[in-house]
Amino acid sequence: MNFYNNTHPYYCGIDLHARLLYVCIIDNDGTTLVHKEISADKGKLFTILEPYIGNIVVGVECMHCWYWVSDFCHDQGIDFILGHALYMKAIHGGKAKNDRIDSFKIASLMKGGNFPLAYNYPQEMRSARDLLRRRTRMVRHGAELKAHVANTTSQYNLPPNKVNLKNQDAREKLKSTFPDPVVQKNIDLDMAILDCYSKELKQVEIFIENQAKQHNAAHLHILKSIHGVGRILALTILYEIGSITRFDSVQKFASYSRLVKCKAESAGKSYGTQGNKIGNAHLKWAFSEAAVLFLRGNKKAQNYLLKLQKRMSKAKALSALAHKLGRCVYFMLKNNTVFDESKFLKG
């Protein structure tokens, strides 16, 4: 975890809500200069910050509506930092908690060098990343609908529907499967939503890929050079990373991607691992999928997995392969080089 330790004459902590802000400005001596609640309005925020522009840093906790504050500070030339919500325990662990106290604590954490930093994702790529995440949620909901069809078929003891519901013809066949009209209406609802997803998601995927080619076509091409990594995995890795230069080392990248586990130790004793859920879940999924797809139809990769299984279980071997792929991606993007399978499988 990184902490903000730059010094400024003034520090502004904002307890951020959808419609309200509680603003606290303190100086280097810890004197409170401003401490008030305002509506979530750019004009009112600018009025408060204007006398301090050039000498102040603004910090907020990472929550769903931080985008506009970050963009506002960028446009006005104000230093802005984003706080990691999970690590801001000084705010969430207090006995008394309200907006006034929280805003003061945020400002104090910045002044004391104890403000835990989250990544302020670049504005130009942020909306495309959010659209890609939205697309993932829709695909998973589509999978739930397909599972509902299979479960309903079993529920009424009918023969299994050996059809691929990705295809429109297969979905049409299911519109006359169940004798009970009420049950059939239930399935028709699933098919209608799947029809909509099939049409809309294709357009969304093409749109995001075109955006990625404008943002970083070279890195998209590099990621696709890995066997088994197609359009969606490459886009996910590209947008979830943002800029590879924000990671000082491959170890930090692997940790952020949830590819490593951290030991919990105290007084020389080990208590297992912790922090397995800290990091980027989307990158964890992408590299886990990439490891499985890398093995598909790849005899050399399958032999490499068998080699790993001599020292560990199959599940751990797959995790090790995903970890190695993640480390490989870090250096590929860092050095702008395509995937070299023979070199990858040597180790």
pLDDT digits (tens, 9 = 90+) for 203-242: 999 999 999 999 999 999 999 999 999 999 999 999 999 9
The Cα–Cα gap between 130 and 208 comes to 10
Q: Output helix, strand, coil percentages for the chain, rounded to the nearest 5.
A: 60, 15, 25
The structure tokens listed for 346 are 């040597």
- Classify the C-alpha dihedral 69-57-241-289 as positive or negative: negative
pLDDT of residue 270: 73
The Cα–Cα gap between 56 and 25 comes to 9
pLDDT digits (tens, 9 = 90+) for 16-44: 999 999 999 999 999 999 999 999 999 99
Per-residue CA distances from 9 to 6, 26, 79, 103, 176 (Å): 10, 9, 12, 18, 72
* Higher pLDDT pick, 127 / 85: 127
- The ranges assigned to domains in the chain are 3-118, 125-215, 231-264+277-344
The Cα–Cα gap between 326 and 309 comes to 19
Cβ-based burial of 193 (10 A; exposed 0-12, middle 13-18, buried ≥19): middle
pLDDT digits (tens, 9 = 90+) for 251-284: 999 999 999 887 777 777 777 666 677 889 999 9
Contact between 8 and 57 under an 8 Å Cβ cutoff? The reply is: yes
Average pLDDT over all residues of the chain: 92
pLDDT reading at 89 higher than 90: no
pLDDT digits (tens, 9 = 90+) for 169-195: 888 888 888 889 999 999 999 999 999
Contact between 262 and 252 under an 8 Å Cβ cutoff? The reply is: no
pLDDT of residue 347: 64
Class of domain 3-118: alpha beta
pLDDT of residue 272: 67
Is residue 316 very low, low, confident or very high in pLDDT (cuts 50, 70, 90)? very high
